[in-house]
Amino acid sequence: MKTIWRNTFLTWLAGLASCVVIGLIIGQLLGVLLLYVLGSLYLQLYQLYQFHYWLRHSGRGAPPEASGIWGDVFDAVHRLQKKQRKSKRRMRQALTRIESSTAALKEGVIMADNQGNLEWWNNSAADFFGLVRPVDRGQMITNIVRSPEFFRYFSQKRFGEPLVIKSPSMEGIYLEIQTTLYDKNDHLIFIRDVTRLHLMEQMRKDFVANASHELKTPLTVIKGYLETLGMFKDKLPASMQKGIVNMSEQSERMEQLIEDLLLLSRLESNDKREENQWHSVSDIVKTITNATAPILSEQHIIDVHIPDNAHLYGAYKELYSAFSNLVVNAIKYSPEGGNITVTWESNELNGIFSVQDTGIGIEPNYIPRLTERFFRVDKGRGSKTGGTGLGLAIVKHILLHHDAKLQVKSQPGIGSKFACYFPASRVRNDNRPVPPTS
Ligand SMILES: Nc1ncnc2c1ncn2[C@@H]1O[C@H](COP(=O)(O)OP(=O)(O)OP(=O)(O)O)[C@@H](O)[C@H]1O
Ligand SMILES: [Mg+2]
């Protein structure tokens, strides 16, 4: 670099010296020098003109021929340009590969901006949602997928759990949608065909619902006969008397199990749901404490702290069922007696119904599994406290219907707290006589 500048300078100096000699010989020193300076300037301007011309024409082809410093500048620019073209080509190839591999994915992929306007999608997403390029580019995704569940999921940004909906464009296809926010809260949406899984799940639900329903009649007959036999118990031998008592207990238990299974099926299928209305939380809890009085021992103390003006918007029977399962659990799992505190609190975000006990508590590793069907910490069938393990699964479904969440805190040997968080939109803390019908 330095050499080239030195050579250029030396060449120019040699030219200047030659001009001085020629000028002195012909006696026109100033004229010759002026001519030399003008000549040099012309040469530089000409090279600059060529360079400019070449750049203006997108620098296509080889740069103009030049020697000295200009030749070096042209070569450097040309080299830089070649390098840039190469990396651009490489990036384009990588982009094409990514595009063609995502296009070939069986899963649908959609990119939408932070408002939900569609920017890009692959072929599977186009099939699943019936998207047409370029007409749908820039459209709001909620205008394309017109389902109320999807609208709620998308507008309230409930992206924690995947959503299953029917395909808006393909008959009989069920889609699982999972959304991730990236960059400036833009949306990356993955769509998966879960029709097979959905049908299997549906079959399972139908089977449980039908089997439970079909078991009801034979069980009623058995219970009827057991009751009749019970009336003549005294006339039977002692060994049979014990058997009848045992059978009656077990048939009661079976009836409860069937009732629970049928309730779960109804909750899952959203069938025949009671209309939502405003209910006094304190009234619900009073009915529960009256109903649970027979199972309380003298060592149990129930403290209820529920303001009279606390109101909740929902289905009465469902709320009763959920709250009563929590209260009954607190009693059942405090076998030595203890304090049970039922509370209602509210803040600007939530209304919180909680049941706290000083019972046996739960090991931390079991807590995430409590709402699974048939899950019981104590699996022993002979256990006196053991129920069917459906109670908390029912609670979870009921809370889901009421946009609420269950939070469990527990310490073995110390006690447990089950808290239901209802959204503020379902909570009212006043005694207005006319309930709004929102
Ligand atoms: N308050 C509690 N304290 C300690 N363990 C609890 C408490 N509540 C629930 N559990 C544990 O969670 C399990 C599941 O509770 P869940 O209410 O679903 O079923 P269950 O009470 O056994 O039967 P069901 O309610 O169907 O009659 C229980 O078996 C018990 O082991
Ligand atoms: Mg229970």
Model confidence band, residue 59 (pLDDT cutoffs 50, 70, 90): low
Inter-residue contact 353 to 320 (CB < 8 Å): no
Centre of ligand 1 to C-alpha 295, Å, is 16
Residue nearest to atom 8 of ligand 1 (CA): 329
Residues of the chain with CATH 3.30.450.20: 105-193
Centre of ligand 1 to C-alpha 359, Å, is 12
Q: Is the pLDDT of residue 212 over 80?
A: yes
Q: Is the pLDDT of residue 371 over 90?
A: yes
Ligand positioned closest to the Cα atom of 392: 1
Centre of ligand 2 to C-alpha 274, Å, is 22
Centre of ligand 2 to C-alpha 156, Å, is 32
Please tell me the least confidently modeled range out of 112-116, 172-176, 227-231. Answer: 227-231
Distance CA 147, CA 159 (A): 16
Residue 325's nearest CA partner among 402, 396, 405 is 396
pLDDT of residue 67: 74
Tokens of 134: 């370029």
Centre of ligand 2 to C-alpha 416, Å, is 13
Ligand positioned closest to the Cα atom of 331: 1
Residue nearest to atom 13 of ligand 1 (CA): 376
Ligand positioned closest to the Cα atom of 363: 1
Bridge partners (DSSP) of residue 187 are 112, 181
Q: What is 105-193's CATH number?
A: 3.30.450.20
Centre of ligand 1 to C-alpha 329, Å, is 6
Q: Is the pLDDT of residue 74 over 90?
A: no
Residues of the chain with CATH 3.30.565.10: 277-429
Q: What is 197-269's CATH number?
A: 1.10.287.130
Q: Within 6 Å (CB) of ligand 1, which residues are found?
A: 260, 325, 329-330, 333, 357, 359-362, 370, 375-378, 386-392, 416
Distance CA 51, CA 56 (A): 9
Q: How far is CA 275 from CA 394, 420, 428, in A?
A: 18, 20, 18
Query: What is the pTM for the complete model shown?
Result: 0.67
Q: Is the pLDDT of residue 150 over 80?
A: yes
Which of the listed residues 392, 399, 408 should we mutate to test ligand 1's pocket, taking the one with most ligand atoms within 8 A of CB?
392
Q: Which of 92-101, 295-304, 326-335, 385-394 has the highest mean pLDDT?
A: 326-335
pLDDT of residue 5: 86
Distance CA 436, CA 207 (A): 39
Taking domain 277-429, whether its CATH number is 3.30.565.10 is answered by: yes
Residue 353's nearest CA partner among 301, 421, 409 is 421
Question: Which ligand 1 atom sits nearest the alpha carbon of residue 392?
Answer: 18
Half-sphere exposure of 233 (CA within 13 A, CB side): 14
Inter-residue contact 49 to 74 (CB < 8 Å): no
Which of the listed residues 341, 370, 372 should we mutate to test ligand 1's pocket, taking the one with most ligand atoms within 8 A of CB?
370
Residue nearest to atom 28 of ligand 1 (CA): 376
Ligand positioned closest to the Cα atom of 410: 1
Residues of the chain with CATH 1.10.287.130: 197-269
pLDDT digits (tens, 9 = 90+) for 217-249: 999 999 999 999 888 888 888 888 888 888 998
